[in-house]
Amino acid sequence: MYSRVPPASRNSDPLAVFGRIVPRDHALLGLLAEHYLLSTDQITSALFDTRRTAQRRLTILHRLDVLHRFGRSGAHGRYGSLLYTLGHVGLQLHPTVYHDPIGTSGKAPRSSLERAKRIAASGQVNHLLGVNQFFTDLIATARHTPNARLSRWWSEQHATTVYAQAGIRPDGHGVWTVGDTSTGFFLEHDNDTENLARVVAKLRGYERLTTFGPRYPVLFWVPSRRREASLLAVLAGLRTTSPIATAIHSPDPAGRVWTLVSDPTHRRYLHELPCDHGPDTATNPRRFDHP
């Protein structure tokens, strides 16, 4: 791997940069093509052993125009780690239809910089980071857990497109594999900003999906015990074909943190939740791709 940080100016040879892209870079670019943006901390936990190594490599990729980066600012100045999106070279290597977090119906951006501006200005940055944190935590767990891996990670727009017939709009969809057990799930990342009636209404689409597709658990990832207790009270006694589970935001979504609404007597590991992958069809692909 090249470790020397290049100068900020462009290389005179426009093709030279492609020889500097290593497999780990491609893995990162693939994630950014699907999921818009990731923070330095998320990239570190998913792909690197140390933050310093990650920062150095990200600086190289930024200076090579492989990545764009920006920070978040508040009343007291910039906060949090830097955020990364596909740069000019990155977008050439990993073209994507996911260019606007608000929707795919708009006109495609003219450049990687315009795409980055759309993401930064979308109002979805904190939500995207919250969802992506869930999945990068799973990747981090898999890196240190034998026989565990995140076999699939689809963005909201990807899952919405594939399962359009059901009309679902999950915040993310994944398949978590431990040994021979693969558990598909749909994530609803909850920040206590929606009333519970609206949250429960989302289950109608998942019920439609079970008539032709999988019966994956719907995961409500909530910010507090109070929110979880309120949601469990509303869902108690509700008959659904899809399993429903709740857990409180934590760094270990694969762990024994999930309460199954139909049997709330104890917490379960993610891979212990009931799961039916359903038939293998064009609207329900059973092939699980490593992200």
Mean pLDDT of the chain: 91
* pLDDT at residue 103 in the model: 77
* pLDDT at residue 252 in the model: 97
Q: CA 62 to CA 6: how far, in whole Å?
A: 10
* pLDDT at residue 243 in the model: 96
Residues 6 or more apart whose Cβ sits within 8 Å of residue 140: 45, 46
The DSSP 8-state label assigned to residue 276 in this structure reads: B
Task: Please compute the mean of the pLDDT values over residues 260-278 and round it to a whole number.
Answer: 95
Which architecture, in CATH terms, is 16-123?
A: Orthogonal Bundle (1.10)
* pLDDT at residue 102 in the model: 86
Which pTM value belongs to this model? 0.91
Query: Would you say 246 and 231 are in contact if contact means Cβ atoms under 8 Å apart?
Result: yes
* pLDDT at residue 291 in the model: 47
- Asked if pLDDT for residue 128 goes beyond 50, the answer is yes
Ranges of each domain in the chain:
16-123, 127-272
Give residue 288's pLDDT band: very low, low, confident or very high (50, 70, 90).
Answer: low
Token look-up 């260019």 returns 99
For 51-73, the pLDDT digits (tens) are 999 999 999 999 999 999 999 87
Give the alpha-carbon dihedral of 262, 267, 270, 272, to 10 degrees.
Answer: -70
- Asked if pLDDT for residue 165 goes beyond 50, the answer is yes
- Asked if pLDDT for residue 12 goes beyond 60, the answer is no
* pLDDT at residue 72 in the model: 82
- Asked if pLDDT for residue 281 goes beyond 80, the answer is no
Cross-strand bridge partners of residue 284: 281
